[in-house]
């Protein structure tokens, strides 16, 4: 199993009145990490028109403060079905603290209909698939 590592930078505008990164912004970090993973897998162009996020969950483990250092986000695929797959993430602070764990379920679509995951995408996803 290969976990892809990507880095995301915080901004002052990610902070809320409590002075830490707002919980909603954690999801923006996941989106950015996901895009960068697809770019690493060289499948972004194929992917952007055919997959839709249908579910997302996140567990917040530790508050995040501002830093000019990047976050580390680990991304991997936890399961691959016929028309959908699940991606998992861990967000780590610049000090290595585990700040959140999350999961997204994506479905491949052709217009309004779920369709089997295209072979090229399936191969790419399998390269980062969690093996028990």
List of residues contacting its own copies (CB under 8 A): 8-9, 11-13, 15-19, 22-24, 27-28, 31-32, 35-36, 39, 48, 52-60, 63, 68
Rg, Å, the chain Cα set: 15
Kindly give the residue spans of alpha helices, DSSP state H, lying in 41-115.
Answer: 44-47
Q: Which is nearer to its own copies, 1 or 65 (CB)?
A: 65
Considering only CA atoms, which of 109, 111, 112 is closest in space to residue 52?
Answer: 109
Q: Which is nearer to its own copies, 57 or 96 (CB)?
A: 57
76: part of which helix (H) or strand (E)?
strand 71-80
Least distance from its own copies to the Cβ atom of residue 43, Å: 15
C-alpha 52/C-alpha 55 separation (Å) is 9
Least distance from its own copies to the Cβ atom of residue 131, Å: 25
Q: Which is nearer to its own copies, 72 or 126 (CB)?
A: 72
Least distance from its own copies to the Cβ atom of residue 10, Å: 9
Q: Which is nearer to its own copies, 44 or 82 (CB)?
A: 44
C-alpha 2/C-alpha 38 separation (Å) is 14
């Amino acid at each position: 199993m290969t976990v892809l590592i990507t880095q995301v930078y915080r901004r002052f505008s990610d902070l809320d009145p409590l002075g830490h990164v707002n919980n909603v912004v954690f999801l923006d970090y996941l989106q950015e990490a996901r895009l960068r993973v697809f770019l690493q897998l060289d499948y972004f162009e194929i992917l952007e028109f055919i997959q839709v996020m249908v579910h997302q969950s996140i567990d917040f483990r530790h508050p995040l403060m501002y830093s000019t250092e990047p976050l580390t986000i680990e991304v991997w695929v936890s399961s691959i079905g016929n028309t959908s797959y699940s991606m998992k993430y861990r967000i780590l602070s610049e000090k290595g603290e585990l700040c959140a764990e999350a999961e997204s379920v994506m479905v491949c679509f052709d217009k309004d209909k779920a369709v089997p995951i295209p072979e090229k995408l399936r191969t790419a996803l399998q390269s980062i698939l969690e093996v028990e």
